[in-house]
Structure 1
Amino acid sequence: MDKQSLFVQVANLEERIGELYVELGTLKQKIQDLIEENQRLQRENERFQAESLDEAKTLETGSAQDNLLRIYREGFHICNVKYGSLRTEGECLFCLSFIQKS
C-alpha cells in the first residue's frame, strides 16, 4: 500500500470523525433541550392537576346546573342528542337551549 494513499485514508477518517463529533454535539444539545422541556411540562402538568383537583372539590358543592355549564365550557355536549361527546364545530344549539331552559 502506498504511503500517500494511507495518508489520504487517515485524513478522510479524521474528517469523518470530526463530522460525527459535531453531529454528536448537536444530538446532545437536542436531548438536553428535550429533557428540560419534559421537566417543565411535568411541573406544569402537576400544577394543572392540583388546580383541577381543587376545582373539582369546589364544584362538588355546586349545583347540577353549574356542573353542566362547566362540562359544556370544557367542550363537551350536554344535550340529549350528543351527551358527553366532544363539541368539534363550535356552539351546539341543543346544548344552548338546554342551558337557557334551566
Structure 2
Amino acid sequence: MSEKQANENIYDRFAQVTKQTRDLVDNMEQLQNQVTELLEQNAELSIENDHLRRVIKKMKDKNGESKLSGSRQNLKELYQQGFHVCSEYFGKRLAPGESCAFCTDVIFGHDPDKAK
C-alpha cells in the first residue's frame, strides 16, 4: 500500500467515526428530549391524579360517606370499648353484646351543623 492510499484510508476511517459520533450525539439528544417529555407528562399526571383524589373524597363526603367529626369519633371509640355515650346512661358499662339505640343516635344521628 502506498503512503497516499494509507492516508486516504485513515482519512476515510476518521470521517466515518466522526459521522458515527454525530449520529450518536443526535440520537442521545432525541432520547433526552423524549425523557424530558415523559417526565413532564408524569408530573402533570401526578398533579391531575391528586386533584381527582380530592374530588372523589369531596363527592364521598357529600354522599354521606364522610368520616365522623373528632368528637363523634371519640364517642364511637368509647361506645366500642363498652360504655354508654347517650345522655340517659352516659359512662355506664354496656352489658356484653348489648347495643343502645340512644348511643348510636348520638354518634351517627343527625348533625344540626350540617343542616345549615
TM-score bracket, normalised by the shorter chain, equals 0.5 to 0.7
Q: What is the aligned-residue identity percentage?
A: 10
Per-residue Cα deviation, 1:27-52 (whole angstroms, up to 9, x for no partner): 12112111211210111111011011
Structure 1 residue ranges, 4+ long, deviating more than 2 angstroms after superposition: none
How far residue 3 of structure 1 moved from its aligned partner, in angstroms, is 1.4
Mapping 1:80-99, distance limit 5 Å: none
Unaligned runs of 5+ in 1: 64-102
Unaligned runs of 5+ in 2: 64-116
TM-score (norm 1): 0.56
Q: Distance in 2 between matches of 1:56 and 1:32?
A: 36
Corresponding residue for residue 52 of structure 1: 52
Q: Secondary structure at the match of 1:61?
A: helix
How many residues in Structure 1 have an aligned counterpart in Structure 2? 63
Q: Distance in 2 between matches of 1:28 and 1:59?
A: 46
Mapping 1:23-62, distance limit 5 Å: 23-62=23-62
TM-score (norm 2): 0.49
Greater share of helix residues, 1 or 2? Answer: 1
How far residue 61 of structure 1 moved from its aligned partner, in angstroms, is 3.3
